Amino acid sequence: MESYEQLLKEAYAKVKVVKISSERFEIPKAKGFISGKNTIITNITQISDYLRRPLEHIIKFLQQQLAVSGKMESDRLILNTKLNSEKINQKIQEYAKEYVLCTECSKPDTEITTEKGIKFKKCLACGAKSPVKS
């Protein structure tokens, strides 16, 4: 029979570590410019890294919500319409609320998991689990 300390060590080894910080979760604002009929976002990879979500998922969400087609070219997202940064930043905030921030404790320490074909947002800080849109 294993000792309590040994079992405790094994349990801690299996738990994911959540980085505790007192700083406020602030998403970087979209930076870019309008070139002809296109809007070019130059820091989309930085936003993706900060949110800790796949770049493709964020791009798909933005294209769907803004009803526009686009493509990645090196580190830039090119959207095929003229958009102001306020609208893009609003959609990124909506993305964070839906796919990143915990619905219970509002912390960004979440991950997307799939169980029986349903996607859930699981909080690593408080343990809450809530379904997300596909």
Please state the domain count of the chain: 2
Asked if residue 113 lies in contact with residue 84, where contact means CB atoms within 8 angstroms, the answer is: no
Q: What is the pLDDT of residues 5-34, one digit of tens each?
A: 888 888 888 876 655 554 567 888 999 999
Residue 43 has pLDDT above 80, yes or no: yes
Residues 88 and 107 in one domain: no
Residue 81 has pLDDT above 80, yes or no: yes
43-65: average pLDDT: 92
Structural domain includes residue 85: yes
What pLDDT score was predicted for residue 1?
63
**Residue 58 region by backbone torsions, left for phi larger than 0, else alpha for psi between -120 and 50, else beta:** alpha
Please report which residue ranges of the chain form alpha helices under DSSP H.
Answer: 4-14, 44-51, 55-66, 85-99
Whole-angstrom Cα distance, residue 103 to residue 97? 8
Residues 85 and 130 in one domain: no
To which residue do tokens 């509002």 refer? 106
Residues 130 and 92 in one domain: no
pTM score: 0.76
Residue span of the structural domain in which 95 resides = 30-100
Residues 93 and 106 in one domain: no
Residues 120 and 86 in one domain: no
End-to-end CA distance of the chain: 45
Q: What is the mean pLDDT of the chain?
A: 87
Residues 86 and 121 in one domain: no
Residues 94 and 130 in one domain: no
Structural domain includes residue 4: no
